[in-house]
Structure 1
Amino acid sequence: MERKFLTMVVFSLIISLFLAACSKDGSMDHGNMDQNSNKKQTDPNHDGMNHGDMTPSSQKDNTNVEFSFKENPESGKQIPLDIKVNNKDGKPIKDFEVEHEKLMHLIVVSKDLSYFDHIHPEYKGNGLFTVTPNFPSGGEYKIYADFTPKEGSKTVKSNVVTVAGNKAKTTPLTEDKELTKVVDGKEVTLKFDHLMTGMDLTMTFTINDAKTKQPIKNLQPYLGAVGHVVAISGDTETYLHVHPMDEKATGPNAKFMTSFPKSGLYKIWGQFQQNGKVFTVPFTINVPK
């Protein structure tokens, strides 16, 4: 009986040591698959921006992006912007994946997030993209280049631009108390299944006709999907580009899944298309801890 008891004790100790070793060295860090990891990158062109897709945050970023205007940008003037994508050795990255019908998505926002534009640079080859942004007034803007090199991970690079010209009045970012807006004859309501940091959540845009209140069921694909959502934090340090859960939906509901890596104010822009016209609906939310 005593020998049997000692055998059981030794066996238990061996199992405990084995489990401890596995926990230390072989456990899966689910944070590495968090689509919204906000870790800073060593590349000075990269702010640790979050793109809203399931890309392991531990995957090494091997890109360096140069943003250069043909001349100093000024409001009201058409000044081309070159975006050059190289690897860390300074050699051009030549091949890119098509993401929602485009090789690169460029998001332009004013510092106070009152201005938003979603445009698509033209690829000239050899790692060079070019586009002419519209800056409606002078002041500070932030641009986000969103792209995926072939055999690489989805990447977002950002750059702050100071634009000459008369500055617009700054609009403080404040939380929307009602998440229903009327834009281009559409009444759009935004709802969350729950709203907190660090958790996957579903946000649903419900789109009705503003006059008749009837549900709109004939949304058309915009860049290959029922809609697109961009969310940027009030300090512009966190960027989310979120695609719909059901890309082939036609309304009235469009559902998106994401998570917010930190609390605070976020500006959200939902973009949809009906009858050949794209409409953009902005909301400002306060994400609690």
Structure 2
Amino acid sequence: MKKKIILVAAAVLALSILAACGKAGDKKPAGGNNHAGHGAISGQENAEKPAGNEKKEAGEMDHGGGHGGHGADAKPAAENLQASFAFPAGAAKANEETELTIQVKDKDGKPVNKYDVNHEKLLHLIIVNHDLSFFNHIHPEFKGDGTFTVNTSFPAGGEYKVFADFIPTGGANTTLSEWVKVEGKEGKHAAIAADVNLVKEVDGKEIELSMSAAKPKEDVTLTFNIRDAKTKKGINNLQPYLGAVGHVVILSEDANQYLHVHPIDEKATGPDAKFATSFPQSGTFKIWGQFQHNGEVFTVPFVVNVR
């Protein structure tokens, strides 16, 4: 009898343990579903962010053939980072040099102090005005406490969009942007229209742009053919600019879509410099190519329609 009682008690105890384990297995660990849910929520937040918010916008991406994959895919957005752009001396004024600071913080408000060198710099700062007629690509100096500073000037009053492009150590390539106000007389806003002829002359050089395609969400190769404007001979001794044959920045006409594109062959020396990317949507886009020859950096702009 005692043996039967012991066996029954053991069976009851075993069933109790199994039931408890089953209940414990039904519980999801804290944050166990964060990855799937976080991506969906972040995508919605980015889509709803108005132009000028400092969070990384849905259309902001880095395309780079030199980083593997020819830039067909954007790296994940850094929703957990934020940047503040400020003029410490007060309001910025047209045609006056002023200090611009950029402070990067994480989701908890703590300064981000570790960055990877990206094409010889910790941070690339792109500045454009409303009609994209002004373009500036400069490199602020890191001062610690998550803060970068640079002295710059603006050619006229009005609003300018500033893009901070960087890679936090351990993270993805990130672009944070914001519209800033500059005091002074505003220039005339010209309509942004596609170029009829994709040949430009800059600093004694003739640059022709050709595109393998001009449709949204399709892989496209941008080829810049650079030649002497007088002799028409191809220039084959381009010098590295920030560690590569050149750099390309592309913006949609409303400045909401930002692409920073690196060359397919970073060690190319001309006359052709090729870049691979894809346009995220239909519309009008402005393209700036930057190259270096005989110690001088030159910038050539083109405007194209993507349909």
> TM class, shorter-chain normalised?
0.7 to 0.9
Alpha-carbon distance in structure 1 between the residues aligned to 2:190 and 2:231: 32
Alpha-carbon distance in structure 2 between the residues aligned to 1:162 and 1:120: 20
Structure number with greater CO (CA < 8 Å, separation at least 6) is 2
- The alignment status of 1:51 with 2:69, answered yes or no, reads no
Distance 1:86 1:245, change over 3 A: same
Alpha-carbon distance in structure 2 between the residues aligned to 1:174 and 1:278: 26
Residue aligning to 2:190: 171
How big is the shift at 1:107? 0.3
- The alignment status of 1:40 with 2:47, answered yes or no, reads yes
Larger radius of gyration: 2
8 Å Cα contact 2:61/2:75 also seen in 1: no
Which shows bigger deviation, 72-81 or 210-219?
Answer: 72-81
Distance 1:77 1:59, change over 3 A: closer
8 Å Cα contact 2:205/2:229 also seen in 1: yes
Structure with the larger helix share? 2
Alpha-carbon distance in structure 2 between the residues aligned to 1:287 and 1:202: 14
Which shows bigger deviation, 243-252 or 71-80?
Answer: 71-80
Give the counterpart letter for 1:40 in structure 2: A
Find the partner of 1:97 among 116, 123, 127.
116
8 Å Cα contact 2:165/2:173 also seen in 1: yes
How big is the shift at 1:148? 0.6
Render the CA deviation track for 1:168-188: whole Å, top value 9, x for unaligned.
111110110100001001000
Q: Matches of residues 3-42 of structure 1 in structure 2 within 5 Å?
A: 40=47
Distance 1:128 1:259, change over 3 A: same
Give the counterpart letter for 2:47 in structure 1: K
TM-score when scaled to structure 1? 0.83
Find the partner of 2:272 among 253, 257, 272.
253
- The alignment status of 1:144 with 2:151, answered yes or no, reads no
Percentage of pairs with the same residue? 50
Render the CA deviation track for 1:227-253: whole Å, top value 9, x for unaligned.
000000001100010000000000000
When the two chains are superposed, the root-mean-square deviation of aligned CA atoms in Å is: 1.8
The runs of 5 or more residues in structure 2 that have no matched partner are 1-38, 40-44, 65-70
Distance 1:81 1:262, change over 3 A: same
Alpha-carbon distance in structure 2 between the residues aligned to 1:182 and 1:138: 28
Q: Matches of residues 85-124 of structure 1 in structure 2 within 5 Å?
A: 85-124=104-143
Distance 1:60 1:225, change over 3 A: closer
8 Å Cα contact 2:94/2:154 also seen in 1: yes
How big is the shift at 1:126? 2.2
How big is the shift at 1:273? 0.4
Alpha-carbon distance in structure 2 between the residues aligned to 1:141 and 1:238: 15
- Residue 208 of structure 1 aligns to a residue whose secondary structure is strand
How big is the shift at 1:133? 2.4
- Residue 93 of structure 2 aligns to a residue whose secondary structure is coil
Find the partner of 2:287 among 253, 268, 272.
268
Aligned residues, how many? 252
Render the CA deviation track for 1:151-199: whole Å, top value 9, x for unaligned.
0111000010111111111111011010000100100000011110001
Alpha-carbon distance in structure 1 between the residues aligned to 2:162 and 2:63: 17
- The alignment status of 1:82 with 2:101, answered yes or no, reads yes
Give the counterpart letter for 1:175 in structure 2: A
